[in-house]
Every structure is written in structure tokens, then in C-alpha cells.
Amino acid sequence: MNIKTTLLALLFASITFAQEKANKPKDSIQKLDQVLISTKVIFGNKYEAKNRTGSSYYISPEELAKFNYTDINRVLRSVPGVNIYEEDGFGLRPNISLRGTSPERSAKISIMEDGILIAPAPYSAPAAYYFPSVARMQAVEILKGSSQIQYGPFTTGGAINLVSTQIPNTFQGALKASYGSFNTGQIHAKIGDSRTNLGYSIEFLNFNSDGFKNLPDGSNTGFDKNDVVAKFRLNSNPDATIKQAVNFKFQYSDEVSNETYLGLSQDDFASNPFSRYASSQDDKMTNDHIQFTVSHELEFSKRFRITTDAYYNGFSRNWYKLNDVVFNGDKVGISSVVDSPETYPNHFSVVNGSVNSNADALILKANNRRYKAQGIQTKLDFHWSGTNVFHDLEIGLRYHYDEEDRYQWKDGYNIVNGEMNLTSNGAPGSDANRISSANAFAGSILYKLKYNKLTLTPGIRYENIVLNREDFGNDDPNRTGRNISERENKVDIFIPGIGFNYKFNAYTSLYGGVHKGFSPPGNSPDQESEESINYELGSRFNFKGIRGDVVAFYNDYSNLLGSDLAATGGTGSLDQFNAGEVAVKGIELLLNYNLLEKNIRFNLPLTFGYTYTDTEFLNSFGSDDGLWGEVTEGDELPYIAKHQFNTSIGLEHKSFELFVNGRFNGAFRTLAGTEDITNENGVVSNFILDFSGKYHFNKHVSLTGNVINLLDETYAVSRVPAGLRPGHPFGAYAGLEFRF
């Protein structure tokens, strides 16, 4: 596909369509006055999202309520330009890519909750082993392209902001409970109120399941996760000359999930895709997350505001899981054993529990880590206007510190008659005993000039980062520092960008821009950052009730970075490596239409979204990482589907809502290459249908129903961390909602 031809075609089509509509009356909504947007959100509503100078999408509270999804993967499937590969079937630890960025553990995108970075250690260890529960979110915002340099440190693919339940304007609350397949249950309760000077909200969420995979001993393969959120706001009187508000937020969650890195061999997946090997029976993830934020808003007028946020995120986790298999003194990683059981038949027999083993034949690693991220950020937003011209200046500053503390060990087990038994205890800190940290100062300036129909947004971001690692060694559990080794890497970079949006009329606009992409390096001295130059050109339109958005993009990487993650079949060191030059280009299309637009009783909304993503390595290199392998110039990136689309149709009435959502995920390769994708070397395409429905007894009580994988398709979602993994099978869920 010629990307230049596509860009020119978009430009020509937009101009032609605009000329056809030139004599039509203008939509008065386009004349809304500019307002100051809360720092908790990127857009705050669909109108703001549709008027950005870059590609953007706002999933509203109404849209989230339609499908009642608890899985972020299913929520994001409706958004073009988002690539996902699943892992556990419930979205506990998603792998998200925006416009072809490396998807593993969502480590190459800026993930925020209420405008604050939420990955456990965004700079020093960005792999998102913690992801907020989407079931408690009020909205989800996705920003891509040239207008997202305000949000870093990752500026290549884009940013995702999860907007949590906000303090209501009046007293209200809700209780939702559901139950269904695999003993999956959910309880979600929230209550809140606002008075003249005080507001609050309190929220509780429990999500649990026995899991849809099966161990030989019948053990639970599911999870249990709790979330508690409390918010308080104290504000000045509404008639105060200078308005102020102080907001406090507390969030705590804990999770116990019987999850494993161990998948299935090709033959076993074909015969019994929902089975698990006996050697994974003791695998378990335990974690807890805590967040404190204090925000101060100082509004001098409707045109000038300063907002400051101080935040602390703490995350502790221990993923205790099978890592290696030993037979006659030969130790082999589980990824190699499952990928090639014919090469390691004796090791594989130990893994599946078909033979009795010696002591210490199974090595389980306690991936015990503690993270913290803390900082303070402030945003100054000032706008002014003249005749037919509007100016907005946004200045953002942030000082941030984060760290990952690894204190890991390995234990030995045997397996006898399918049951695992502890045979040796590893000493804490004997596998990994180090702290990786980052001090970062970031600043951004974005200027918006709106003159008549044209909007321009030039801006620049600055990142100054110092990355450190202190390795105390495997024989110093008390960290006396007698054999400490240290290393440091520094980054100092400017990240410019410019975007534009031209409104031909109320129905058609053309937008686009160019910006620098950036991703921080690791702490190895002199390792270079990931950098790219990114282009996009798109159009938003409304033609005879068909509302749409089409955009072409081209990301030109001069230095793509890969990470050594255990989650992708690597060693888990997190060391980054240079993958050189890469080109990623594609097209995103979104269409919306109401088939019963003139009917006053019913709505029949239809949506269709399509993403084409073409990737290519422009040089050759060798990699031990299980996600890429050996790379030859011309190879395509793994885990990025070339074609994918999402479609949904609904029937809405004041008494009920029915929706069917279909997702086609194209085939993708699981190692870099160019050969045809088959069941043996990749993950083939699949089409999954979901259903959701609601019946409203009255304005206070509703009956809900969901069906996941309506046609009960059996399909693979990935080959990492170690072996093939299935997607969620058919599951039916019903519940009740009470609102007051």
C-alpha cells in the first residue's frame, strides 16, 4: 500500500465532500465557547474528542454501560488503531499496542488513571503488571497522533486515560451484582453526594471467578480481586472571585489469581485447549495496589486555571510460577520445553505430570517485586480570544520518581502421581536482588491557535531522565552493599510536534500532523532511546447520517527498542536492546449510523471499525527475546494483526437495550518473519460475537445479561509467555442493577 497515495486521497475526498456540503446549514454545536478541561481527563466528552488535531476516541459512560464489560481488552476492541493480544481471558494483565507499538504488557504506551501515570514504574519498569479495573471506570479516553505530546513519556503510539467514577453533583448511588459461567461473580457498589462546599464518593468492586481452564487435580484456576475507592472534595463558595478546590483520592486493590505462564504444546492445544499441565498447579499471582492523590485547583477566571496533583502509587506482587524443568541435570526453560516437546521429551513428561520426577525437577520462581511511583505535576491553562481568533496556552510540568525493587528466589519441587511437593527452599534474594529507579523531569508546552475554520496546535515536550540500577548480588540478602554493582543512564530530549484541524463546515473536517515519537531506554549506560517520526492525515465527516472518521498514519522508527520480558518468553531481566529501523503504516476507519434515525420509539445503531497495520523491519539483528527471535530485513513485527475489524448492532428502546458485538482479529505471526501464517507458526484469525442486554423495570431497577463468545468459538490468543493459550469460551452472565 502506498501511504502517500492514501494521504492525498484523503485530502481530495475531504475537500470534495466539503464543497458538496458548503450550502448546508451549520450545526450550532460548533459554536460552543471554549472551556477549561479538567486535568483528570484528556477530552471529557465526545465533542472535544472530535475536535482534536489528532486521532482520538472517547468511550462514554453510556457506551461502557451498553456491554457491561469487565475486560479492558473487549472495551478497547471498538477503537480502530488498537492492537491487543490476550493472555488470561479476563483482561487482568492486558497487552495493548497503539499503532503498531510493541504490545507486551502495554509497556510502550502512556497509561493513566484520572490523568496520572498508573503503570507500577512508568520510567524504570513500565511493563503493566497492574492495570486498573475497567468495571469501575466512568469513561475511557484514547489519544493517538500529533496532539498527544502533552502525555508522556511514551509518545509514539499514544495514551490511554481511564476516568474513574467522579463525585456526583447530587446524592446518588448504585448497586450492581451479577453471576454466571465458571462461578464468575461481580459486586459493584457506589454512593456519593455534593453539597455547597463538600463532595464525596465511595466505591467497592469485587470481581471473581473459578476460571475456565482445568487442572488434573481439579484446583481452582480463577481469581479474586477487590477494589476500594474513596474521593473527597472541598471547594470554595460558588460566588467566590477566585475559585479553589482540594480533591483527595484513595484507592486500594488486592488480587489473588491462580494464573500461570505455562501454556500448551501444539498437539495438546488441538486436543484439549482448556487444560493446564499438572506442573502449574502451584502457580499463583498475589498483589496489592495503593494510591493516594491530592489535587488543588485554582481557577482565577473562566480563562485561567492552575491545577496541581501530588500522587503516590505503591504496588507489591509475587507471581510464584514454574520457570524451569530439570532432567538428569539438564535445566531447560518452560518456553523451550512446550514449544518443542519432541526435542525435550523427558522434560515434557515432567511438565505434564505423566511421570514421577526426582527432587528439584521443577523450579518455581518467586517473582517478588515492590514498586513505587510518586511525584507532583502542575498544569497552567490560559486562553484568550479576539475577532475570529482563539488562543489557548497549556503548560505542563512534572517531577516524578519511580522504582522497581526485585527480591526474588527459586524453590525446587518434585512431582509424584501428578502432585507437586516442595523439595528445597531458595534463599530470599538469591535469584534477583536489585533496585532499578528513575528520576524524571518533564515539561510540555502546547499552543492552540484557532482562526476561523483552522486550528493549529504546535507544541514541544521535554524529558530529562536519570535511570539507575543497584544490584546487591545474590549472596547479600541484607543488602549491606559489600558487592554492590551500579550503573546509570541519562536521557535529555526535546519532543516536538504540530497538528492541525480544518473545518470545511459542520459536517466535514480534515486533521493531521507530525510529531516525534519517544520511549525511554533502560539503565544500561549509553543505551539510546526509542525514537521515531510519526505522520497522520485524517478526516471526520457526516454524510446523510453516516458519521465517520478515517485516518492514515506512518511511523518511521530510527531506533526501535525491545525488552527482555519473561512474559514474552525471555529471561525477565527487563534489559532493553536495539532493534534498529522499522516502518509501521496503516489506515483506521470508524463508521456510525442509526438505521432508525427518524423513529421516535426505537434506535438501531450500527457501528463498524477497521484497522489495517503494515509493519516492516528495515534491518537484520539477532534477539534472544521469545517475542521477536532472529530478525531479517523485511520481516514483519510479531503480534500485530494486519487486518482487524469490529462491528456492532443494537436495538434501543426506553424499556430495553439489546446489542451484538462482533470482532474479527486477523492472523498474526508470533515471531518476526514473512512466511504465511499457520496454526504451527502463529495465531490464525478468529471472529468472536458477544451479546449484551438490559431490561429496565423502572428508572431504579434493571435486569442485565451478557454472553461472551456467543458462538462458543475455540481459538488461540497467543504463544507467550510459554505455549499456546485459549481465548474465553462461551460464558453467560446475568445480574441486577439498583440505582437511587
In angstroms, the CA 155 to CA 463 distance is 11
Stretch 382-392: mean pLDDT, rounded?
93
In angstroms, the CA 595 to CA 570 distance is 49
Q: For residue 14, is pLDDT > 50? A: no
**Residue-by-residue DSSP string for 227-268:** EEEEEEEEE--TT-SSEEEEEEEEEEEEEEE---SB-B-HHH
Residue predicted with more confidence, 515 or 597: 515
Beta partners for residue 472, in sequence order: none
State whether residue 533 is helix, strand or coil.
strand
Cβ distance 686 to 714 under 8 Å?
A: no
Set out the domains of the chain in order of their start, with CATH numbers: 3-430+446-739 (2.40.170.20)
Q: For residue 630, is pLDDT > 90? A: no
In angstroms, the CA 137 to CA 128 distance is 18
Give the number of other Cβ atoms within 10 Å of residue 195's Cβ: 10
Proportion of the chain above pLDDT 90, given as a percent: 84
Cβ distance 141 to 150 under 8 Å?
A: no
In angstroms, the CA 338 to CA 724 distance is 9
* Cα–Cα nearest to 439, from 381, 502, 369, 523: 523
Q: For residue 299, is pLDDT > 80? A: yes
What are the E-state strand segments in 544-642?
546-563, 576-594, 605-617
Q: For residue 93, is pLDDT > 80? A: yes
* Cα–Cα nearest to 472, from 415, 506, 429, 528: 429
Containing 198, the helix (H) or strand (E) segment is strand 198-209
* Cα–Cα nearest to 139, from 157, 112, 120: 112
Beta partners for residue 259, in sequence order: none
Q: For residue 569, is pLDDT > 70? A: no
Q: Which cell numbers in the block locate residue 375?
A: 511525584
Stretch 420-444: mean pLDDT, rounded?
97
Whole-angstrom CA distances from 6 to 12, 171, 235, 314, 370 are 10, 51, 51, 46, 47
In angstroms, the CA 21 to CA 347 distance is 69
Q: For residue 623, is pLDDT > 80? A: no
Stretch 358-382: mean pLDDT, rounded?
97
Residues 680-701: pLDDT tens digits? Answer: 889 999 999 999 999 999 999 9
pLDDT at 573: 54
In angstroms, the CA 25 to CA 164 distance is 38
Containing 347, the helix (H) or strand (E) segment is helix 345-352
Enter the pTM of the model.
Answer: 0.93
Stretch 201-214: mean pLDDT, rounded?
98
Q: For residue 727, is pLDDT > 90? A: yes
DSSP 635: P
Backbone angles phi, psi at 219, to 5 degrees: -65, 155
Based on its alpha-carbon atoms, the radius of gyration of the chain, rounded to whole angstroms, reads 26
Q: How confident is the model at residue 7 (pLDDT cuts 50, 70, 90)?
A: very low
Stretch 329-344: mean pLDDT, rounded?
97
In angstroms, the CA 662 to CA 444 distance is 39
In angstroms, the CA 353 to CA 142 distance is 45
Residues 144-165: pLDDT tens digits? Answer: 977 678 999 999 999 999 999 9
Cβ distance 534 to 156 under 8 Å?
A: yes
Do you find a cis peptide bond into 153, omega within 30 degrees of 0?
yes
DSSP 603: B
Give the number of other Cβ atoms within 10 Å of residue 731's Cβ: 19
Whole-angstrom CA distances from 34 to 53, 381, 384, 436, 734 are 15, 12, 10, 43, 42
**CA torsion angle for 12, 16, 17, 21 (degrees, to 10)?**
150
In angstroms, the CA 189 to CA 176 distance is 6
Q: For residue 6, is pLDDT > 60? A: no
Cβ distance 104 to 563 under 8 Å?
A: yes
Cβ distance 55 to 502 under 8 Å?
A: no
Cβ distance 634 to 617 under 8 Å?
A: yes
Cβ distance 648 to 607 under 8 Å?
A: yes
DSSP 92: S
First to last CA, the chain: 54
**CA torsion angle for 244, 159, 531, 440 (degrees, to 10)?**
40
Q: Which cell numbers in the block locate residue 336?
A: 523451550
Whole-angstrom CA distances from 705 to 66, 390, 645, 694 are 10, 47, 24, 6
pLDDT at 401: 98
Length of the chain, in residues: 740
In angstroms, the CA 486 to CA 524 distance is 10
DSSP 730: -
Q: For residue 16, is pLDDT > 50? A: no
In angstroms, the CA 51 to CA 33 distance is 13
Backbone angles phi, psi at 496, to 5 degrees: -90, 165
CA atoms lying within 13 Å on the CB side of residue 454: 3
Q: For residue 332, is pLDDT > 80? A: yes
Taking the mean position of all CA atoms in its chain, how far away is CA 593? 28
Q: Which cell numbers in the block locate residue 59?
A: 468511550
pLDDT at 149: 85
The angle at the Cα of 479, spanning 407 to 411, to the nearest 5 degrees, equals 35
State whether residue 269 is helix, strand or coil.
helix
Stretch 14-40: mean pLDDT, rounded?
48
Mean pLDDT taken over the chain: 92
The angle at the Cα of 293, spanning 290 to 298, to the nearest 5 degrees, equals 170
* Cα–Cα nearest to 211, from 222, 195, 227, 198: 222
Stretch 655-678: mean pLDDT, rounded?
95
* Cα–Cα nearest to 723, from 131, 114, 213: 213
DSSP 182: G
Q: Which cell numbers in the block locate residue 233?
A: 472534595
Q: How confident is the model at residue 598 (pLDDT cuts 50, 70, 90)?
A: confident
In angstroms, the CA 551 to CA 539 distance is 6
* Cα–Cα nearest to 514, from 542, 536, 484, 538: 536
Cβ distance 591 to 534 under 8 Å?
A: no
User: Tell me, what amino acid is at 522?
Assistant: G
In angstroms, the CA 390 to CA 24 distance is 25
In angstroms, the CA 666 to CA 687 distance is 9
